[in-house]
């Protein structure tokens, strides 16, 4: 079953009286457990596509479904609910809340979801921190840990709510190649263990190498879609 499906999807932006196409006739679907890299040069439409999948924007035309729900015409509150329960985000700049500890950053999505049982939250957070091999850093703030450790906290934060899909925008861009490869291996391990779909936007050849499926965009169009293994 598809966790994300796009049919005849278009996205336009307006510059004055000009209508600029960012995405043109996108037809893609991603299934449970996919490990996908979306690649292409700057301006190819990668970020726009991730924003649509992440319910941060709406298409100009066409249909996008998350799970069984057509979200194409959802209002802002409905899109926020989809993001809160179905989509995890990992960013190149980590986007951790600087005044919160690692534990509190990972706990935060559960609070947003309305979880109030402190014992349940603690068990979930500590378990995911153990999976990320950073449980000993639970009380550290982001400026007290390394970039690689911050990205592990960000992965834990994305996974804690057990989303259908995790979107990773250039997740290795701010890491050296050795740490970046460690992070990719960790994400692949989580992909296999939890069967959560990972979709990357990237320029990084290493990310493309690790991806099980590679979708290439150019000028807002899909030019290839290759399953690698």
- Each residue of 39-71: pLDDT tens digit? 999 889 999 999 999 999 999 999 999 998 999
Terminal C-alpha separation, the chain:
19
**pLDDT surpassing 80 at residue 85:** yes
- pTM: predicted TM-score of the whole model, two decimal places: 0.93
Cα torsion 120, 153, 66, 74 to 10°: value is 90
**pLDDT surpassing 80 at residue 95:** yes
Query: Most confidently modeled of 40-44, 133-137, 173-177?
Result: 133-137
What is the β-pairing status of strands 61-66 and 69-70?
A: antiparallel
Across residues 148-167, what is the average pLDDT? 96
Topology adopted by domain 2-97+148-227: Rossmann fold (3.40.50)
Q: Give residues with Cβ within 8 angstroms of 199, minimum separation 6.
A: 4, 30, 34, 36, 38, 50, 53, 165, 166, 167, 168
Q: Where are the alpha helices (DSSP H) in 32-101?
A: 46-53, 76-86
Spatial separation of the C-alpha atoms in residues 114 and 130, rounded to whole Å: 23
- The pLDDT score that the predictor gives to residue 86 is 94
17 confidence band (pLDDT: 50, 70, 90):
confident
189 confidence band (pLDDT: 50, 70, 90):
very high
Per-residue pLDDT tens digits for 26-40: 999 999 999 999 999
Per-residue pLDDT tens digits for 193-225: 999 999 999 988 999 999 999 999 999 999 999
């Amino acid at each position: 079953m598809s966790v994300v499906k796009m049919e005849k999807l278009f996205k336009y932006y307006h510059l004055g009286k000009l209508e600029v196409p960012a995405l043109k006739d996108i037809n893609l679907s991603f299934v449970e457990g996919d490990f996908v890299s979306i690649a292409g040069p700057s301006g190819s439409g990668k970020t726009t596509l991730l924003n649509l999948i992440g319910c941060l924007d709406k298409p100009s035309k066409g249909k996008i479904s998350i799970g069984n729900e057509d979200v194409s015409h959802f209002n802002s509150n409905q899109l926020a609910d989809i993001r809160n329960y179905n989509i995890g985000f990992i960013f190149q700049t980590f986007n951790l809340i600087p005044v919160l500890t690692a534990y509190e950053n990972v706990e935060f999505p559960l609070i947003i979801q309305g979880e109030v049982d402190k014992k349940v939250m603690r068990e979930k957070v500590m378990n995911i921190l153990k999976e990320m091999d950073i449980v000993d850093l639970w009380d550290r703030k982001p400026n007290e840990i390394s970039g690689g450790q911050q990205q592990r906290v960000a992965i834990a934060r994305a996974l804690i709510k057990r989303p259908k899909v995790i979107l990773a925008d250039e997740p290795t861009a701010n890491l050296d190649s050795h740490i970046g490869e460690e992070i990719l291996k960790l994400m692949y391990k989580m992909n296999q263990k939890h069967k959560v779909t990972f979709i990357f936007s990237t320029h990084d050849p290493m990310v493309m190498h690790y991806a099980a499926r590679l979708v290439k965009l150019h000028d807002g169009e899909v030019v290839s879609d290759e399953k690698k293994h």
